[in-house]
Amino acid sequence: MAAQTHCHGCGNSFESFGMTQAQGVDYNGHTFCNDDCQMESEVDEIEQGAHMEECGLNADGSEW
């Protein structure tokens, strides 16, 4: 059995969706299972960055 590949957003395997990684959505160097998952992942990253900035934290969690 071949190794499974996983969506960068939700983390589920492409095989569990009955598709191959080549059928996914490529964005910013990562492959997602669909457009909705890609958009949700991008929004999560933006919200996480805003939260870190509001709390005065660097990307690694250390304080400014």
pLDDT digits (tens, 9 = 90+) for 24-60: 999 999 999 999 999 999 999 999 999 988 898 887 7
Looking at the DSSP bridge assignments, the partners of residue 32 are 25
Partners of 57 in beta bridges: 63
d(Cα 60, Cα 25) in Å, to the nearest integer?
A: 28
Higher pLDDT, 62 or 12: 12
Domain boundaries along the sequence of the chain: 14-54
Residue 14 has pLDDT above 90, yes or no: yes
Please tell me the pTM assigned to this model.
Answer: 0.75
CB atoms within 10 A of CB 51: 10
Q: Which two tokens stand for residue 55?
A: 């709390």
